[in-house]
Structure 1
């Protein structure tokens, strides 16, 4: 019998290992810079983060690179496989949406970048504008006045009745329930 693996736990194990390695290198301060074969005037790139050079590293830019190169492509490719009706059904896209969210959050945690952040918000707004603009949003309306009247008047009428019952019960000296 074959054992079925869910993609989410597998993805989490891979990402957790990748973040563990990334954290170990960034926190330990090891020299991970590899000289390039380019001229000596060009800066050396960090193999872990393409935005980093040997002089400084902007973790915000590094985070942007990771999200754009590692998280976004798989999510976009999954969304493009669905038609507009399937994309608008939460049960269809829930897993992919959650995996993308977790991917952005794990990279942010790994690089010690706050999450949520403006980059993530902008990416999600762009995703919604691109893939979910045709989804119908059911608007909520107030119930008719007769329903509101019943819902408001029921507790108002029950309170005096309950108070009267409590007073009568204690006035008669009946201490049993």
Structure 2
């Protein structure tokens, strides 16, 4: 097995000591190892989650590292969105790939750190993406408004006036006196 390779190394990595742990790994008590100066380059991969699901990927155990990884996800998303023209920001066919990449990256790193997803930090980045890029987007469906007041009044009064007329008609027809068998 070869060691897992990540596109960017955190300053200090805590990882499970496994057959794919690098030779410079040092055991720290409960099956954790500390690695410094380990080659963790991306091997040609540019996405922050390129190896997040690798069986020997290191679940970083500190909130600081998770924060760093989500920030990398955000930077990657911003770089992808930099290629989208302003006029195309509301077209789902254009933005679905970067948006899905952000969501996938946040979800994969949360899973890698054994955090729940969605979590407050991931939601913050999702909301930030909506606020920064998609705040002027509207739904394709038309927004329905109440009809003008005179039309609304007519729609309310017509059935109210019709009910007494229909009740009178039913009573008048039933007074005919002919028994129906």
Larger radius of gyration: 2
Q: Comparing both structures, which one devotes a greater share of its residues to helix?
A: 1
Structure in which a larger fraction of residues adopt strand: 2
